Amino acid sequence: MLHLNGIGKRFGDQWILRDLNLQVREGECVALLGPSGCGKSTALRLIAGLERQDEGSIELDGARLDTIPAERRRIAMVFQSYALFPHLSVRENLNLGLKIRGVAPTQRQQRINSVLDTVRLKEMADRRPQQLSGGQRQRVALARALLRDPRVYLLDEPMSNLDAQLRDELRPELRQLILQGSQPVVYVTHDQQEAMALANRIAVLKGGRIEQIGTPEELYKTPASCFVASFIGRPQINLLNIDQQLTIGIRPEDLHFDVEGMPCRLISREWQGASQLLLLDSPRGALRMLCSGDAALGESLSVSWPTRAEHRFDASSGRRLAG
């Protein structure tokens, strides 16, 4: 188990992380999700030993990890930039790390051939990075991480440089690769769809602190705050200020047409294949609605939602209300 206990990190007078407590179990992938500047990449650098925390401790299997130099921690990192040597072939890029670690030549080639089979790049072994697609280059970076036989995997926005189609194609492969072993995996992303698809649990960060941690389903169905509710789920949840004490959250898929409901006007529409995303102007402000029907721009509509679908938050603190 990887355990971050009361971690704090500051740059000058500004705290980037504060009182960060996180456990990642054997074979588990935990995603750190949040907006830019929330501290998620800093947390990864602390685990890797590239930075030193100002408070707290980092343990692996009950022993202090943060007292060990970075090069001896046996941690594999995968970055968004791939970090491949452009003048070396795929095989040479993979061979370099093994050579530095003193692995015998015969064993090096056996391990490289095996990992190239795993990431389906054996036929690309003699190509240089510029001859590969973005998805193939990311597979090379993953293969290099797999070759390290690490105790922990750290992935920092590994698919952010890929287009949407490549991300969709690589996501199931990446999940299979990083979750096939027993090592803890920490996955940093700002893409909630990516986090929900890959992680066993998600820690949503806000201002250097964990706002909520749980399974993707838990975060979606019972968000602890307006912030989490807005960050988890696409299209984004509707937040309606009912009065000075209460904010209600309604998922777009929970809205439905109702002649006795709230009067609205359709102001825009996005086709999404089997469904449409409607943007409605209502007395409570703009509403997003997912539906399978058809409607004309400017048309007057009425919508409602079941009471059981409401997420209720304190309007002042933004925290979820009990009950």
Q: What is the pLDDT of residue 293?
A: 67
3-state helix vs strand vs coil in the chain, percent to 5: 30, 35, 35
pLDDT in tens, 80-109: 777 789 999 999 999 988 888 888 988 899
Q: What is the pLDDT of residue 138?
A: 81
Query: Superfamily for 2-225?
Result: P-loop containing nucleotide triphosphate hydrolases (3.40.50.300)
Q: Rounded to an integer, what distance in angstroms lies between the CA atom of residue 261 and that of residue 170?
A: 43
Contact 291, 272 (CB under 8 A): no
Predicted confidence at residue 68, as pLDDT, reads 94
Alpha helices in 157-266 (DSSP H): 164-178, 192-198, 216-221, 226-231
CB 82 within 8 A of CB 137: yes
- Identify the residue whose tokens are 């990449």: 41
Identify the CA nearest to 131 among candidates 86, 191, 82: 86
Long-range contacts of 90-95 (CB under 8 A, 24+ apart): 90/116, 90/121, 90/124, 90/125, 90/126, 90/127, 90/128, 90/129, 90/132, 90/140, 91/116, 91/125, 91/126, 93/129, 93/140, 93/144, 94/140, 94/143, 94/144, 94/147
pLDDT for the residue numbered 114: 87
DSSP lists the bridge partners of residue 77 as 154
Question: How confident is the model at residue 63, as a pLDDT?
Answer: 94
323's tokens: 């009950």
Structural domain spans, the chain: 2-225, 235-314
Residue 171's Cα: distance from chain center in Å?
11
At 81 the pLDDT is 74
User: Does domain 235-314 match CATH 2.30.29.30?
Assistant: no
Instruction: Report the alpha-carbon distance of residue 312 to residue 323 in Å, rounded.
Output: 9
Which residues of the chain fall below pLDDT 70? 293-298, 323
Q: What is the pTM of this model?
A: 0.87
